Structure 1
Amino acid sequence: MVQAIVAPRQMLVGAGSIARLGALLGQFGFSRPLVVTDRFMVSSGLVERCLAPLREAGMAPVVFHETVPDPTDTVIEAGVAVLRAGDYDVLLGFGGGSPMDTAKAMAILAAAPSGAKMRDFKVPVAADRGALPVICVPTTAGTGSEATRFTVITDTETDEKMLIAGLGALPLAAVVDHDLTFTLPRRITADTGIDSLTHALEAFVSQRANPVSDMYAREAMRLIGPNLRPVYADGGNAAAREAMMLGATLAGLAFSNASVALVHGMSRPIGAHFHVPHGLSNAMLLPAVTRFSLDAALPRYAEAARCMGCAAAGDADQVAGAKLLEELRALNTELEVPTPAAWGIEEARWNGLLPTMAAQAIASGSPGNNPRVPQAEQIMALYAESYRGA
């Protein structure tokens, strides 16, 4: 079988690599960047970590800082208006997954005729054209967006988190510098860390897995599994920060080439309707969905447990699979992941939206990649199970 493998053309990886950002743009012949970020990056001064090397290279970067968590189609439209009004040759996404996803979506929408909407590009449409190349600089170790052909945008008219996929969303290049993650709060460290673990695990068990995505996923799990607790306990642990950052990028490469599965399909509606951070909603669902899926791909889940270090090399698959479930529950406890109920979501509203969330999950296409493909009723049952946790 022929596999189409995608990845950024160049990635600068390692401590201090942000200092080479200006040189990277120059290498590709770019000199007029529009930096896409959020208000916190500007107010905190962190955006200067991005702007300084650009100015040192003789560039005059312009900043669009209207990105919001769970970026919306209206924000994308505002960004495209800024893009079209200026003279730019590259979009630079700086921050967590939201700024990077915003930059990608801006490139896709700006390439479309006037009047087009982001919903015109949701899967199964192939969003393969971008008006400008995108370069990404992640400041969290989690989303992997710096390495993927995906962006996720909320439709403000329907409250649907739309999965948009295609070469138009694939960054040309990325700078992966774990020095940018030392100031992350513990909650964001945990949520983005579980997000990256979910990316690797789902890519590995996906029905679209292939030898290349497997290679990325295995190494991502080997890096993330032993380092998630240490980095949560001590954000200044440089070795753990480095491992988590590299693991997140490898996990991004894995799921970009194999796709995610049921956890992500169910997670996006939670974010859209209840504004739960993406990594946190993944964590809320991961134990229940893994239990549901385990027997359909037991050898794969068992190998994942061994890669993560929660099962021994000699453990039988059934034993390793049980240890994986135990580990995912333990991680949620130790990393203080709340259930939807504990997070404050009203049970009546949660239950009332179950049919809508199940339909939106299925429409995303991700559940179809799961080892055990669920019906809508089974998805609703998993939402109900996850509401208060095991």
Structure 2
Amino acid sequence: MSHRMIWNQTAYFGPGSIEVVPDELTRRGFTKAFVVSDAVLVATGVTARVTDLLDTAGFPYEVYSEVQANPTIENVQAGVAAFAAAGADVLVAIGGGSPQDTCKAVGIIAANPEYADVRSLEGVAPTKHPSVPIIAIPTTAGTASETTINYVITDVERQRKFVCVDPHDIPVLAVVDPQMMATAPRSLKVATGLDALTHAIEGYITQGAWELSDLFHLKAIQVIATSLAAAADGDEAAAERMALAQYVAGMGYSNVGLGLVHAMAHPLGAFYSAPHGVANGILLAPVMAFNASASGEKYRDIAAAFGVADARTMPLDDARSAAVAAVAALTRQLGNPTALREVGATEADVAALAKAAFEDVCAGGNPREASVADIEDLYRSLL
């Protein structure tokens, strides 16, 4: 069996690494940047940490900040029009998953205008041309969009989120500077950190996992398990470890897929605008329990990564239970919601949620086959 792995051409890491951006833009021959961010990051001065560098270097740019959480088809289409009007030749994404995903969709459609409806990008779209070049600068330690071939868009009219998978969308350059993440509120650090943990665990047990992806995911689990709580509380060293760990998880899951946690989280975002990381945090431990019997010995590794004593030698069923319990305990420690009613879910929507999750592209990678009825039961158990 052959395996494909796709990563950025170049990536920079560490405090202050955003300082490379002007030189990289100039060295690569670009003449004007279209900066995609969001209104909160602009208002709080986070976006300016990069645009100030461009000002000092005399590098032209325009800022597009009309990006909302769970970006919509309309967000993307407005961004495509604004990019065309700007006359730019490079995209700079500054933000968490929403600006990053919007930027990817804008870049793909600008280079492949036949997909201007946006919906036709769902799944593995056969685009012919690489995206307009993207420089990706994350402001959260979670989505790893800066190194993945995936992005997620919300279809408001049809009340659903859809995943787009396209090697043409991967940024040519990622700049992972933990100082760009420092001012995020604790709640956002928790949510995005749980998203990163979900990427690492689902990527580790997904059907497409193999030896190389396992290296990335297991290392990410180990670092996140020991760093997330401290990073959420403002520890700078832990935050730097989280910035790297979420990127490492992205290097893996982007190439092998995810599973039922993400498939079930996406409808919660579409129906109730539930923050993606919060939804993942509610679902992760219960779905791990559902998947335990189909995950071989891998839960031993997860338990060991969380510091469970004797994880290597205890009976397998006990190790599986310990791994689930450790993830659940961290979720509670962080203060993430643990019930779906806390994000607005109702019994009346369970059937529609389950149908949407069953049809989500991420469901196909789950290690245990799940029927619509299975998914309904999981949703109901968490209300």
Q: Same fold (TM over 0.5)?
A: yes
Quote the offset at 1:9 in angstroms: 0.3
C-alpha spacing 1:311/1:95, structure 2 compared with 1 (3 Å)? farther
Secondary structure of 1:93's counterpart equals strand
8 Å Cα contact 1:7/1:253 also seen in 2? yes
Corresponding residue of 2:322: 323
8 Å Cα contact 2:109/2:115 also seen in 1? no
Quote the offset at 1:125 in angstroms: 2.9
Task: Measure, in 2, the Cα distance between the counterparts of 1:223 and 1:124.
Answer: 31
Corresponding residue of 2:307: 309
Quote the offset at 1:170 in angstroms: 1.0
Q: 1:268 aligned to 258, 266, 269, which one?
A: 266
Corresponding residue of 2:376: 380
8 Å Cα contact 1:128/1:169 also seen in 2? no
Corresponding residue of 2:116: 116
C-alpha spacing 1:303/1:127, structure 2 compared with 1 (3 Å)? farther
Q: 2:349 aligned to 338, 348, 353, which one?
A: 353
Quote the offset at 1:171 in angstroms: 1.1
8 Å Cα contact 1:311/1:320 also seen in 2? no
Q: Deviation digits for residues 243-271 of structure 1, max 9, x if unmatched?
A: 11100101111110111111001100001
Alignment of 1:173-188 (within 5 A): 173-188=173-188
**Structure 1: runs of 5+ lacking an equivalent:** none
What amino acid is the match of 2:255? N
Corresponding residue of 1:42: 42
8 Å Cα contact 1:134/1:171 also seen in 2? yes
Secondary structure of 2:37's counterpart equals strand
TM-score by length of 2: 0.96
**Structure 2: runs of 5+ lacking an equivalent:** none
Asked if 1:333 is matched to 2:329, the reply is: no
C-alpha spacing 1:124/1:204, structure 2 compared with 1 (3 Å)? same
Secondary structure of 1:271's counterpart equals helix
What amino acid is the match of 1:351? E
Alignment of 1:222-233 (within 5 A): 222-232=222-232
Q: Deviation digits for residues 18-53 of structure 1, max 9, x if unmatched?
A: 111111222322231100000011111111111122
Quote the offset at 1:352 in angstroms: 2.2
Task: Measure, in 2, the Cα distance between the counterparts of 1:207 and 1:196.
Answer: 19
8 Å Cα contact 2:300/2:312 also seen in 1? no
8 Å Cα contact 2:12/2:176 also seen in 1? yes
8 Å Cα contact 1:197/1:224 also seen in 2? yes
8 Å Cα contact 1:142/1:194 also seen in 2? yes
Corresponding residue of 1:246: 244
Task: Measure, in 2, the Cα distance between the counterparts of 1:127 and 1:300.
Answer: 36
What amino acid is the match of 1:268? H
8 Å Cα contact 2:115/2:121 also seen in 1? no
C-alpha spacing 1:224/1:79, structure 2 compared with 1 (3 Å)? same
C-alpha spacing 1:362/1:50, structure 2 compared with 1 (3 Å)? same
CA RMSD, Structure 1 to Structure 2 (Å): 1.6
Identity level (%): 34
Alignment of 1:1-390 (within 5 A): 1-113=1-113, 116-127=116-127, 129-232=129-232, 234-235=233-234, 237-312=235-310, 314-316=312-314, 317-341=316-340, 343=342, 345=344, 350-387=346-383
C-alpha spacing 1:371/1:118, structure 2 compared with 1 (3 Å)? same
8 Å Cα contact 1:136/1:173 also seen in 2? yes
Quote the offset at 1:62 in angstroms: 0.6
Name which of structure 1's ranges 81-90 and 354-363 shifts more when overlaid on structure 2: 354-363
TM-score by length of 1: 0.94
